[in-house]
Chains A and B, each alone.
Chain A
Amino acid sequence: MHELSLAIDMVAQLEKALSDDDSAIEQIHLLVGVISGVEIDSFKFAFPAAAHGTRAKDAELVIEQVPMVVKCRACGRETRPGKPAAICGKCASIDVEIISGREFVVKSMEVS
């Protein structure tokens, strides 16, 4: 359940980005990679407890899942391998760089 500490950190981060005139956070846009280690359902479950008593308490979470994309150093292609192995989806080389899939990012928020 590290999602709870992540939710607490996120709320603190968002509060910091608010100005004194902002009354509430309406919506939070998140990017969650499939290999980020963050379970989306657990995060959604933990969020209300983390947001309780803050200006994020009524915020809606809009979560976009990010697939794993690897760039192959052997054939140069970018592919989406099937979870969970990081291998080239074209030539099956193991010499790949993970381009995306690890992110856990707050993209933006709507505030009123």
Chain B
Amino acid sequence: MCEECGCTPKDHHHDHEHDHEKTTRTVNLEQSVLERNDQFAQANRQWLKERNITALNMISSPGSGKTTLLEKTLDALRHEIACAVIAGDQQTDNDARRLAGKGAPVSQIETRDACHLDAQRVGHILAETATPQTKLLFIENVGNLVCPAAFDLGEDIKVALLSVTEGEDKPLKYPTLFSLAPVVVVTKIDLMPYLDWDIEACRDAILKIRPDAKIIEVSAKNGRGMDAWIGYLKQLAAED
């Protein structure tokens, strides 16, 4: 409809001085909306590669035990492999404080309103976190199974954590993350005797989404299964 006189092309019976044709043009973009993040991620990846640092992006629901696993991991690797940690949370530096004093530099990113870490924020803090000795960089993402999966941080590996107090079918409910994570750590297995947790059903769910996933079952609390996790990390650090 013509905005100036209200006529439509059908009842176009009078002459106009103004132009009816609204000129529009098509701009072809074919651009990923995540392009900007991906560029920062690529820069991070390059930076890490030049320094032979292997980065792990640790993603899980809130409360699945990322920080406890990292505490015990830093203890176990303390005199063997130089580690560094970037911890992301919406607010507080509680995680960074828990992880401090274990021989590894730790930085905290407070994302404020954001539900995920992005590559730009991680890039800003990389140089001040990693040292020339660093071999493994753990990036503890904001506790969230959905949003962090969409943002490449420049890591080598996404690690998904799933605690036994969550449902066995979580990988089926949140397939995006589990399809991107070649390693899944099932945490808090010391609680299994108290729960109706079916480990086989959980393994099936993980493998249904990612058939080649490496599944590591641990209790950071009593140490069960930690050997497999630490062994995996040592292997990663030795690959460079």
B195 proximal to A (CB < 8 A): no
Give bound CA distance, A106 to B116, whole Å. 22
B24 and A110 contact, CB distance less than 8 A: yes
Residue of A nearest to B149 (CB): A37
Tell me which residues across on chain A come within 8 A of B115, comparing CB atoms: 1-2
Kindly identify which residue among B35, B149, B150, B177 contacts A13, using a CB–CB cutoff of 8 Å: B35
Most chain A Cβ neighbours within 10 Å, of B30, B32, B115, B151: B32
* Main SS at interface, chain B: mixed
B26 proximal to A (CB < 8 A): yes
Most chain A Cβ neighbours within 10 Å, of B22, B35, B148, B177: B35
A30-72 contact mask (Cβ, 8 Å, vs B): 1 or 0: 1000011110000000000000000000000000000000000
Q: State which residues 15-35 of B face A: CB under 8 Å.
A: 22-35
B175 proximal to A (CB < 8 A): yes
Distance from B150 Cβ to chain A, minimum over Cβ atoms (Å):
4
Tell me which residues across on chain B come within 8 A of A30, comparing CB atoms: 33
B208 proximal to A (CB < 8 A): yes
B146 and A109 contact, CB distance less than 8 A: no
Query: Which residues from chain B sit less than 8 Å from chain A, CB to CB?
Result: 22-37, 114-116, 118, 146-151, 172, 175-177, 179, 208-212
Query: Which residues from chain A sit less than 8 Å from chain B, CB to CB?
Result: 1-2, 5-6, 9-10, 12-14, 17-18, 26, 30, 35-38, 83-87, 94, 103-112
